[in-house]
Structure 1
Amino acid sequence: MKNIRENFGAHVVALPYPTQGHISPMLQFCRRLDSKGVKASLAITKHIFTTLKPKSDGHVHLVTVSDGYDDGGFVEAESIAAYLASLETNGSDTLGDLIEQHASTDNPITCIVYDSFFPWCLNVAKKYGLLGASFFTQSCGVNYVYYLAHHGKLSVPVFSPPVDITGLPPLDASDLPSFLDSPESYPDYLQLVLDQISNVDEADFVLVNTVYELEDKAVAHIACM
């Protein structure tokens, strides 16, 4: 990210999936960017903003996008599929609006760091000629398992454990992400976690929230994929 700041006077907008487990890592990343002299804005949904009324810490700027359910958020949607579809449609439109609003300011947006659950964000970034960075909140080992499942290299559900995956210890079915062990339980969420791999090869950067020393073998192997 250092080169982006030097060449472009970077303004990074980070867009997390609207749950705490995704917002918190992205917020910490934004604080890290700010400590390096990069302007960082965290984009949360309008519902979360009006409900929690978060205050800026003076370093990370808070901006909003819409998931289409500004009053009630997820609970207002009739189904998981409906919420995810609305989030993509309305999120794309309002993220575009946000980019346009900053275009003529002293701090135009130069890079979108988007939750890996939002592969559609890369389309928005490229539409406006911006850099796009996919941010994985899951560990590298989990990402690797999803990668194999997405490309059909790991059958779902797993019927014959243990599962032998290079770079990982032998895994039982219960060791795998629950969406893969019981795909019929939450089919829409299964599709969500698999789709995060769909265009990752086109992203300008891929960021993973992990501890390298704990996953060095998995990191080394997936880096060669």
Structure 2
Amino acid sequence: MVHCVVLAYPAQGHINPMHNFCKLLQQQGVKVTLVTTLSYSKNLQNIPASIALETISDGFDNRGFAESGNWKAYLERFWQVGPKTLAELLEKLGRSGDPVDCVVYNSFFPWALEVAKRFGIVGAVFLTQNMSVNSIYHHVQQGNLCVPLTKSEISLPLLPKLQT
């Protein structure tokens, strides 16, 4: 059976889409391990027993972001500690006879792909935002949509008209 680790950013707007993705993977016969930070795992509810839950450190294991004081300090520390503790988790799962075949990671954690590669594991990024939002970003980047917006309604290919 394929074993997939799904690494979620520790915030509800990121956990929920990835949790739903875990359920879809599981319906396809994939063994799923949902991974978040130790501090955020204390907030999780309604994770089915069939989805394993593991934690990594963000460097602020008691209260997460609240412990750090600001986003810059939080993210800097997480980027230092996260790759190390994800590697430790992958090693632990491998030693337990349950090796990981794939790491799906939140787009906020590009370092997760490098960790997966070190273990010879396939990695895939997961964008937690709605595709409409990603489409808007794309059109802004391409210069097809100028910001700040000057109209109250915008129209983009393959999307309904959007109100600002």
Question: Which TM bucket (shorter chain)?
Answer: 0.7 to 0.9
Q: Which residue of 2 aligns with 1:111?
A: 102
> Of the candidates 21, 24, 28, which is equivalent to residue 32 of structure 1?
24
Q: What CA RMSD, in Å, does the superposition of the two structures yield over aligned residues?
A: 2.4
1:1-225 to structure 2, matched below 5 A, reads 9-49=1-41, 51-52=42-43, 57-149=48-140, 151=141, 153=143, 157-158=147-148, 160-161=150-151, 163=154, 165-169=156-160, 171=162, 175=164
1:158 is displaced (CA, Å) by: 1.9
TM-score (norm 2): 0.84
In 2, the alpha carbon distance for the partners of 1:160 and 1:10 equals 49
More helix by share: 1
- SS of the counterpart of 2:75? helix
More strand by share: 2
| Aligned CA distance change for structure 1 residues 99 and 158 (closer, same or farther; 3 Å) | same
In 2, the alpha carbon distance for the partners of 1:78 and 1:154 equals 38
In 1, the alpha carbon distance for the partners of 2:15 and 2:61 equals 17
- SS of the counterpart of 1:12? strand
| Aligned CA distance change for structure 1 residues 80 and 152 (closer, same or farther; 3 Å) | farther
1:87 is displaced (CA, Å) by: 1.9
TM-score (norm 1): 0.63
Letter matched to residue 21 of structure 1: G
| Aligned CA distance change for structure 1 residues 119 and 55 (closer, same or farther; 3 Å) | same
State the number of aligned residues.
163
| Aligned CA distance change for structure 1 residues 97 and 147 (closer, same or farther; 3 Å) | farther
Q: Which runs of 4+ in 1 moved over 4 A?
A: 53-56, 154-157, 169-172
Query: What fraction of aligned residue pairs are identical, expressed as a percent?
Result: 37
- SS of the counterpart of 1:99? helix
- SS of the counterpart of 2:36? strand
Range moving further from structure 2, 153-162 or 12-21: 153-162
Letter matched to residue 58 of structure 1: A
- SS of the counterpart of 2:72? helix
| CA deviation vs aligned residue, 1:77-111 (integer Å, no higher than 9, x gap) | 13212212222221111111111112233220111
